[in-house]
Amino acid sequence: MSLRIGDDAPNFTAQSTEGEINFHEWLGDSWGIIYSHPADFTPVCTTELGRTAQLKDEFARRDTKVIAVSVDELKSHHDWVKDINETQNCDVDFPIIADTDRNVAELYNMIHPNASTSVTVRSVYFIGPDKKIKAIITYPASTGRNFTEILRVVDSLQLTANYSVATPVDWEQGQDVIISPAVKQEDVEGKFPKGHRVIKPYLRYTPQPNK
């Protein structure tokens, strides 16, 4: 059965470019992203892994660890990392799993047989410190992911985990957020001292509480 939001993130032990990893131990108390790549030495994947490395400080600021998966072998990953560093002007220092037995790809439903029986699609799983899946996005091999969106999702997940708010369409850090419909109007002033606007009883905005 497919993994869904709220499910436990499956644990596994795997070989990676940073040595053997037990996924849950490696995550520790951090947030995590596990994302799949169709194959080594492919152009779109090269740019995605490069961007991940370039965004190292952004992920660190969000206490979010990133781990990549592809079904190619370790030697190939190490050789490919040299190309990524050279062509994307970066230093890949996060683990890339060598999922040659497809254990991780199967656990995380990263192979979509009607797209390809041999390689993974571009899956992204966002995992909370409680090891639960918080969000999932999936693209085909032909569409490179948007890492601005990936960081934005992390920001939204972390904000909404701590406050009774939701983030509206196209929300970005610092913009007003929506007060959760579960918050009674009589409790709004106490919970959101920065103020609020009522557009409709179900559509209430407040400044981002943690800014």
- For residue 33, the SS3 value is strand
Q: Which residues bind ligand BEZ (CB under 6 A)?
A: 38-39, 42-45, 141-142
Contacts 24+ apart (CB under 8 A), 17-21: 17/74, 17/77, 17/78, 17/81, 17/92, 17/95, 17/96, 17/98, 18/94, 18/95, 19/95, 21/67, 21/95, 21/97
d(CA 4, CA 71): 22
Of 36 and 109, nearer to ligand BEZ (C-beta) is 36
Give the pair of three-digit tokens for residue 128: 């909370």
Of 48 and 155, nearer to ligand BEZ (C-beta) is 48
Point out which residues pair with 200 in neighbouring strands.
Answer: 203
Q: What's the length of the chain?
A: 211
Of 143 and 185, nearer to ligand BEZ (C-beta) is 143
Q: Which of 14, 21, 45, 66 is catalytic?
A: 45
Of 70 and 208, nearer to ligand BEZ (C-beta) is 70
Query: At closest approach, how far in Å is the CB of 74 from ligand BEZ?
Result: 19
- Which candidate, 193, 132, 144, 129, places its Cα nearest to that of 37? 144
Query: At closest approach, how far in Å is the CB of 82 from ligand BEZ?
Result: 17
CB 19 within 8 A of CB 51: no
Catalytic site residue 45?
yes
Residues 6+ apart with CB under 8 A from 171: 152, 156, 177
Query: At closest approach, how far in Å is the CB of 113 from ligand BEZ?
Result: 15
Query: At closest approach, how far in Å is the CB of 39 from ligand BEZ?
Result: 6
Of 2 and 142, nearer to ligand BEZ (C-beta) is 142
Longest Cα pair distance anywhere in the chain, in angstroms? Answer: 61
Query: At closest approach, how far in Å is the CB of 38 from ligand BEZ?
Result: 4
Residues serving a catalytic function are: 45
